[in-house]
Amino acid sequence: MADIFDMTKGELQEFLVANGMKKFRADQIFHYIYKQGITDWDDMVLLPKKDRDILNERLPIYFPVIESQLEAPDGQTVKLLLRLRDGQTVETVLMMHDYGNSICVSSQVGCAVNCAFCASAKNGFVRNLTAGEMTAQMLAFRKAVTPDLHSIVIMGTGEPLLNYDNVLRFMRLIHEQDTFYLGYRNMTLSTSGIVPAMYDLAKEGMPITLAISLHAPNNELRRRIMPITDRYPLEEVLKAGENYFNVTGRKVTFEYILIKNLNCNLSCARQLVHLLGGKNILVNAIPMNDNYDVGLYRPADAEIESFVSFLKKNGIQVTLRREMGNKIQAACGQLRIQRDK
- List phi, psi (to 5°) of 212: -110, 130
Biggest CA pair distance of the chain: 70
What count of other Cβ atoms lies within 10 Å of the Cβ of residue 246?
A: 10
Q: From the DSSP assignment, how many helices (H) and strands (E) are in the chain?
A: 11, 12
- Residue 12, Cα to own-chain centre: how many angstroms? 26
CA–CA–CA angle 199, 204, 205 (5° rounding): 120
- 309's CB contacts (< 8 A; 6+ apart) are none
Question: Which of 11, 71, 91, 176 is flagged as catalytic?
Answer: 91
d(CA 323, CA 143): 25
Q: What DSSP line would sit under 16-51, residue for residue?
A: HHHTT--TTHHHHHHIIIIIS----GGG-TTS-HHH
d(CA 199, CA 226): 20
Instruction: Indicate if 264 belongs to the active site.
Output: no
Question: Which of 111, 115, 264, 332 is flagged as catalytic?
Answer: 332
Smallest CA-to-CA distance from 29 within 51, 44, 15 is with 44
Instruction: Indicate if 91 belongs to the active site.
Output: yes
d(CA 12, CA 8): 6
Catalytic center residues: 91, 332
